[in-house]
Amino acid sequence: MFSKTILASSLIAAVSAHQNFHQFWVNDETPGYQVGIRMPPSNSPVTDVTSEDIACNVNGQTGVADTVAASEGDTIKVQWDQSGHPGPITHMLFGPVDSAKAATGVGSWFKIDELDYVDGKWANEIMGAANMTHEFKLPTGLPSGEYLLRSEMLALHGAQTVGGAQFYIGCAQLKITGTGSDGACGPEIKLPGAYNAEDANIYIPNVYNGFDPTNYTAPGGPVGSCGGSGSTAPVSSKPSSNSTTPATSAAAASSAAVSTSVSIASNVAVSDVAAPTSSAPVASVTAAPGGNTTASALPSLVFPSTFQTSVVAAPSTFQTSVIAAPTNNTAPSAPSSTGSVGTIKKYGQCGGRNYLGATSCESGSTCTVMNDYYSQCV
Ligand SMILES: *[C@@H]1O[C@H](CO)[C@@H](O)[C@H](O)[C@H]1NC(C)=O
Ligand SMILES: *[C@@H]1O[C@H](CO)[C@@H](O)[C@H](O)[C@H]1NC(C)=O
Ligand SMILES: *[C@@H]1O[C@H](CO)[C@@H](O)[C@H](O)[C@H]1NC(C)=O
Ligand SMILES: *[C@@H]1O[C@H](CO)[C@@H](O)[C@H](O)[C@H]1NC(C)=O
Ligand SMILES: *[C@@H]1O[C@H](CO)[C@@H](O)[C@H](O)[C@H]1NC(C)=O
Ligand SMILES: [Cu+2]
């Protein structure tokens, strides 16, 4: 029973754990941990798809110092923090623009990569088996120029309520050498704009009750291309390089004597980069041992069968609270108040089933129910 309790606890932790895109490689070379990536101030998700944060996350309109060199056709590997949240990963490009550092990312994007649900596993599980990495190739036919690369992991564990889907997003700055001409790539979509809270791949009322993820496709439309073999030329104009200069780029500009484009080879050693600041990885739900005797009795197709098993095997106190959550989304639980004191920072967890922590939010934020087992200070 002891180990089962641990399992139940760890899956709850996994449910409330968040993640960031923290590193990438171009043909197996990396500029370093968090280098070239616009890191958000926390590892919390964006849930308002109409917010400009849906483009490059909170503070994502502000450039970082390094823009990393790549060429069309190169293999990009991204690495994210550990994630037990079921859902797809997608990649998009914004550009070409004169300066990736100055680009806001608010505007036109085109999708270059997508991994959804394959052989019974969501992208986050597939990545979990690959040290939380995922690889894809930059399309050929890209016009030379600078770009933002947007990596998005969409978490669907709260998708049974409108606004419950969680978008984890990070944008990297690339300087790409390519052979295409402007306007070659598409189709383009707008962010914000292309996602709607009630889209069928964002709001999934039956996500815990009969939803079949087999043919699920992530938001943002199909993976595009850059001209080439017979594909129709995209009709939309190239992304605006307007970049109504981000608030902080005035400050950035004052130090802009330094070149903003760096090649990986000339970059700092990884060991010079600041240590990770995000929270330690939480055990993935896929770590639970097998045995799925009663898994079919549970409705969820979202979570791996190992997840279901550990829930079923859990002590009855956990069964009640954990199993009840997915099957009943009509009455989101109020933040639990079990006497813990303290104030939660904005974007922190402040409630949800089995949550035992403090429930008051720092001033300027309010504890808001995201779903039955997750309330957040927003
Ligand atoms: C997993 O990724 C981390 C961070 O990049 C790295 O330090 C570690 O060596 C990787 N582990 C394996 C087995 O590749
Ligand atoms: C998924 O797509 C395949 C191929 O189009 C189709 O045969 C199957 O019925 C679809 N499954 C669901 C659940 O829609
Ligand atoms: C770009 O800037 C022009 C001129 O300031 C403006 O009219 C246009 O609306 C802007 N476009 C976008 C997408 O912001
Ligand atoms: C799990 O369920 C599948 C499908 O019902 C079955 O084929 C498999 O043998 C089960 N595994 C265990 C360990 O019971
Ligand atoms: C959901 O929970 C609420 C409150 O506990 C209850 O009134 C309602 O009947 C439940 N609905 C279902 C479908 O179980
Ligand atoms: Cu999370």
Q: Tens of pLDDT along 40-50?
A: 999 999 999 99
Q: Atom 14 (ligand 5): residue with closest C-alpha?
A: 328
Asked whether 162 and 197 are in contact (CB, 8 A), the reply is yes
Q: Answer yes or no: is the C-beta of 1 below 6 A from any ligand 5 atom.
A: no
For range 125-130, the mean pLDDT: 97
Q: What is the pLDDT of residue 64?
A: 98
Name the token pair of 16.
Answer: 């409330």
- Cα separation, 342 vs 358, whole angstroms: 5
- Cα separation, 122 vs 14, whole angstroms: 15
**What is the pTM (predicted TM-score) of this model?**
0.60
- Cα separation, 194 vs 214, whole angstroms: 23
Q: What is the pLDDT of residue 270?
A: 28
**Ligand 3 residue neighbourhood (C-beta within 6 Å):** 107, 240, 242
Q: What is the pLDDT of residue 68?
A: 98
- Cα separation, 349 vs 360, whole angstroms: 10
DSSP label of 95: E
- Cα separation, 184 vs 314, whole angstroms: 54
- Cα separation, 42 vs 57, whole angstroms: 10
Q: Is cis: bond before 281, omega within 30 of 0?
A: no
For range 45-73, the mean pLDDT: 98
Q: Atom 8 (ligand 1): residue with closest C-alpha?
A: 131
For range 110-122, the mean pLDDT: 97
- The CATH fold assigned to 18-272 is Coagulation Factor XIII; Chain A, domain 1 (2.70.50)
Q: What is the pLDDT of residue 340?
A: 55
Highest mean pLDDT (candidates 20-24, 273-277, 288-292, 326-330) = 20-24
Residues β-bridged to residue 180: 143
Highest mean pLDDT (candidates 171-175, 234-238, 315-319, 368-372) = 171-175
* pLDDT higher than threshold 60 for residue 59: yes
* pLDDT higher than threshold 80 for residue 123: yes
Centroid of ligand 3 to alpha carbon of 242 (angstroms): 6
Centroid of ligand 6 to alpha carbon of 297 (angstroms): 26
| pLDDT tens digits along 332-354 | 344 433 445 678 777 777 777 66
* pLDDT higher than threshold 90 for residue 262: no
Centroid of ligand 2 to alpha carbon of 210 (angstroms): 15
| pLDDT tens digits along 205-231 | 999 999 999 999 999 999 999 985 433
Consecutive H or E run containing 377 = strand 374-377
Closest ligand by atom to 129 CA? 1
- Cα separation, 189 vs 212, whole angstroms: 26
- Cα separation, 365 vs 79, whole angstroms: 30
Chain mean position to CA 368 = 21
Q: Answer yes or no: is the C-beta of 79 below 6 A from any ligand 1 atom.
A: yes
Asked whether 64 and 36 are in contact (CB, 8 A), the reply is yes
Q: Atom 7 (ligand 4): residue with closest C-alpha?
A: 292
**Stretch among 243-247, 257-261, 330-334 having the lowest mean pLDDT:** 243-247
Could you tell which of 321, 327, 330 is best to mutate to test the pocket of ligand 5, judged by most ligand atoms within 8 Å of the CB?
A: 330
What is the number of the ligand 1 atom nearest to the C-alpha of 23? 5
Three-class HEC string of 192-214:
CCCCCCCCCCCCCCCCCCCCCHH
Residues β-bridged to residue 67: 261
For range 232-258, the mean pLDDT: 33
Strand 75-80 with 121-122, pairing: unpaired
Q: What is the pLDDT of residue 354?
A: 65
Chain mean position to CA 248 = 24
What is the number of the ligand 5 atom nearest to the C-alpha of 324? 14
Q: What is the pLDDT of residue 377?
A: 79
- Cα separation, 151 vs 250, whole angstroms: 26
What is the number of the ligand 4 atom nearest to the C-alpha of 291? 13
* pLDDT higher than threshold 60 for residue 10: no
Give the CA radius of gyration of the chain. 21
For range 244-248, the mean pLDDT: 31
Q: What is the pLDDT of residue 54?
A: 98
Q: Answer yes or no: is the C-beta of 131 below 6 A from any ligand 1 atom.
A: yes
Q: What is the pLDDT of residue 285?
A: 28
Q: What is the pLDDT of residue 244?
A: 31
Asked whether 361 and 377 are in contact (CB, 8 A), the reply is yes
**Ligand 4 residue neighbourhood (C-beta within 6 Å):** 290-293
Q: Answer yes or no: is the C-beta of 328 below 6 A from any ligand 5 atom.
A: yes
Could you tell which of 23, 131, 134, 284 is best to mutate to test the pocket of ligand 1, judged by most ligand atoms within 8 Å of the CB?
A: 131
What is the number of the ligand 3 atom nearest to the C-alpha of 240? 13
Q: What is the pLDDT of residue 172?
A: 98
Closest ligand by atom to 273 CA? 1
DSSP label of 320: I
- Cα separation, 203 vs 165, whole angstroms: 7
* pLDDT higher than threshold 90 for residue 272: no
* pLDDT higher than threshold 90 for residue 252: no
Write down the mean pLDDT value for the chain: 74
- Give the whole-number percent of the chain exceeding pLDDT 90: 54
Closest ligand by atom to 245 CA? 3
* pLDDT higher than threshold 50 for residue 274: no
Q: What is the pLDDT of residue 230?
A: 35
**Alpha helix segments (H runs only) across 114-243:** 123-128
What is the number of the ligand 3 atom nearest to the C-alpha of 244? 14
Closest ligand by atom to 324 CA? 5
- 278 vs 70: which has the higher pLDDT: 70
Residue 356 banded pLDDT, cuts 50, 70, 90: confident
- Cα separation, 365 vs 41, whole angstroms: 15
**Stretch among 76-80, 151-155, 203-207, 368-372 having the lowest mean pLDDT:** 368-372
Q: Atom 1 (ligand 1): residue with closest C-alpha?
A: 131
- Cα separation, 51 vs 353, whole angstroms: 28
Closest ligand by atom to 242 CA? 3
